[in-house]
């Protein structure tokens, strides 16, 4: 598979910022980078469950959008940035404990849009949520 990343696969400079955002609050951790994919894990605990004790669908969407946003950032050169345009999610299976692992892969890497598929699985490797994220690609405007 061809390497799609245009930025270094190093999130260490973002660690202080990540810790102070929803990503840190929900315990999301990036676990693996490949030539065309990124994986991240999220605990199923008091931060991510709904009142019935199962993984909150919104938490799955946060994991999906986090993965897609980071992937889009890493797939762009420094003259561009991206912002979320649309996200959809289908919740397939309940999770009550442990963690879930999301994997993002590109569907389309265009000049003005990126489209990403995110599959979130339980620890047994069973899909619990499938999501699609569309990102709008924007040029960085330099101040005059």
Active site (catalytic) residues:
65
Give the list of residues 6+ apart from residue 106 with CB closer than 8 angstroms, or none: 4, 36, 71, 75, 114, 115, 116, 117
**For residues 37 and 47, what is the distance between their CA atoms, to the nearest angstrom?**
26
**For residues 12 and 62, what is the distance between their CA atoms, to the nearest angstrom?**
20
3-state secondary structure of 78: coil
Closest CA to 11 of 30, 35, 37, 34: 30
């Amino acid at each position: 598979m061809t390497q799609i990343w245009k930025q270094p696969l190093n999130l260490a400079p973002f660690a202080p910022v990540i810790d102070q955002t929803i990503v840190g609050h929900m315990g999301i951790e990036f676990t693996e980078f490949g030539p065309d994919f990124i994986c991240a894990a999220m605990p199923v605990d008091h931060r991510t469950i709904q009142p019935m004790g199962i993984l909150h669908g919104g938490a799955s969407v946060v994991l999906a959008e986090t993965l897609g946003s980071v992937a889009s950032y890493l797939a762009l050169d420094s003259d561009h940035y991206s912002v979320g345009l649309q996200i959809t999610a289908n919740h397939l299976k309940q999770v009550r404990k442990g963690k879930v692992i999301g994997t993002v892969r590109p569907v389309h890497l265009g000049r003005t849009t990126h489209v990403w598929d995110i599959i979130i699985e339980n620890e047994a490797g069973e899909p619990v949520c499938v999501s699609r994220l569309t990102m709008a690609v924007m040029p960085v405007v330099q101040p005059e």
